[in-house]
Amino acid sequence: MVAQLRPIADAWRNELYKQSTQRKAEMTRLWLQMERDLDPAIAAYCYAPQDERTSRGRALTGRLAQHLNNLIPVTERVIRQAGINHMELGNRAGRSFLEAQGMPIQQRPGEPVFDEDNWRESLGKAKDLAIAGALAAMLRAGTGIADIRRIQAGISKGLSQMLMIGRDYPVFEFRASIARYETTGKWVRLSARAPTTCMACIMLDGTILENASDFADHPHGLCYIVPLKGSTWEGETGEEWFLGLTPDEQKGLMGEEYYEAWLVGEFDLDDLLLLVAAGYVIVRSLRDLREGEDEN
């Protein structure tokens, strides 16, 4: 029965990724429209005589703020609908895991993990980040194409933050819906087995958790937990999978510098994992691995 769980998990993960990709494309399209409208104002600011900079700057930041004010409600609607969809996906995924193991279907009632005020506040901070990024770049701007690009990049910091919010909050709802199912055993953490999966997640793949609340991840993570009928995971672990890859595949996942250091015995695979205070999981720095020091 355990062997059936990974293909089921992979199928749900693929569906989750497909919806996330569609949502990212929808949000990116809206933001590209805004950026195209702002480009003439950015160019006008950069090429303006010094005595016109102040007025041009006010016009640019005013237009940016207006666009962001119009963009936020649209983004909120996208995230809100995605959260509803992902809660339903999580309900169906959790049910499929239990059915595959012949377990009774019981789910605890629950509210959304992150209420609307929470992620709306995060969107507001992302908006402020976009404006602050633009202002910082404008203060340093000269009169060339590179300066135009720096202002565009400053705005993009906030937009990238919005993308992360739009991607992560619905995923949290998906995981929470799975976690509300009652299990007769424990939980197992499974990761995506893809070229972009981080080594920390690979090393945690197959880890047994006492409670669903013990799960820790990082932004853009595609790991999640699966309810088990028993208390052990008899499937292949992430470490076993990694050791079975070709050297080139291992190097691609680990990165050349890490890979070469690991080959000569500067650290063990078990040393890679670092759990930080915020509950995120990350890979330890190569310097720390070589020095053998603890990071907090």
Span 122-158, pLDDT tens digits? 889 999 999 999 888 888 877 778 888 888 898 998 8
Band (pLDDT 50/70/90 cuts) for residue 295 is very low
Q: What is the pLDDT of residue 242?
A: 94
Which range of residues forms the domain containing residue 222?
212-291
Instruction: Indicate if 79 and 133 belong to the same structural domain.
Output: yes
Q: Is residue 284 part of a domain?
A: yes
Residue 191 covered by a domain: no
| 281 pLDDT more than 90 | no
How many other CB atoms sit within 10 Å of the CB of residue 285? Answer: 12
Which of the residue ranges 90-94, 191-195, 211-215, 274-278 has the most confident prediction, judged by mean pLDDT?
90-94
Nearest residue to 60 via CA among 123, 154, 124: 154
Whether residues 245 and 147 fall in one domain: no
Structure-derived torsion over alpha carbons of residues 207, 209, 215, 216, reported in degrees to the nearest 10 = -50
Give the lowest-confidence range in 164-178, 229-243, 248-262: 164-178
User: Does one domain contain both 167 and 264?
Assistant: no
Same domain, 147 and 222: no
Q: Please indicate, yes or no, whether residues 103 and 32 belong to a single structural domain of this protein.
A: yes
138 and 244, same domain (yes or no): no
Q: Which range among 50-59, 145-154, 195-204, 210-219 shows the weakest confidence by mean pLDDT?
A: 210-219
Pair (128, 261) in one structural domain: no
- pLDDT at residue 219, as a whole number: 63
The predicted structure's pLDDT at residue 289:
79
Classify residue 206: in a domain, yes or no.
no
Neighbours of 127 (CB within 10 A): 22
More confident residue, 278 or 228: 228
One domain, residues 166 and 20: yes
- The confidence score (pLDDT) of residue 22 equals 86
The per-residue pLDDT for 292 is 67
Q: What is the mean pLDDT of residues 62-81?
A: 89
Average pLDDT over residues 196-209: 88
Q: How far, in Å, CA of 127 to CA of 122, rounded?
A: 9
0.75 exceeded by pTM: yes
**Range of lowest pLDDT (36-50, 102-116, 163-177):** 102-116
Domain-embedded: residue 196: no
Task: For residues 62 and 158, state if they share a domain.
Answer: yes
Highest-pLDDT range among 44-48, 218-222, 274-278: 44-48
Task: Name residue 282's beta-bridge partners.
Answer: 274
CA 239-183-191 angle, to 5 degrees, is 25
What CA–CA distances, in Å, run from 294 to 253, 263, 276?
23, 22, 11
Contacts of 77 (CB under 8 A, 6+ apart): none
Question: In the listed set 182, 203, 236, which residue is the last one of a domain according to the structure?
Answer: 182
Q: Quick one: 174 and 236 in the same domain?
A: no
Q: How far apart are alpha carbons 114 and 123 in whole angstroms?
A: 13
Instruction: Please determine, for residue 296, whether its predicted confidence score (pLDDT) is greater than 50.
Output: no
Per mean pLDDT, which range of 78-82, 96-100, 217-221 is the poorest?
217-221
The pLDDT-based confidence of 214 (bands split at 50, 70, 90) is confident
Q: Is 218 inside any structural domain?
A: yes
Cα–Cα distance for residue pair 108/165, rounded to 1 Å: 26
At residue 273, does pLDDT exceed 50?
yes
Judgement on whether residues 12 and 118 belong to the same structural domain of the protein: yes
What are 19's two structure tokens? 């919806």
Whether residues 159 and 249 fall in one domain: no
Could you tell me if residue 198 is inside a domain?
no
Domain count of the fold of the chain:
2
The amino acid present at 13, given as its one-letter code, is R
205 within domain boundaries: no
Residue 57 in domain: yes
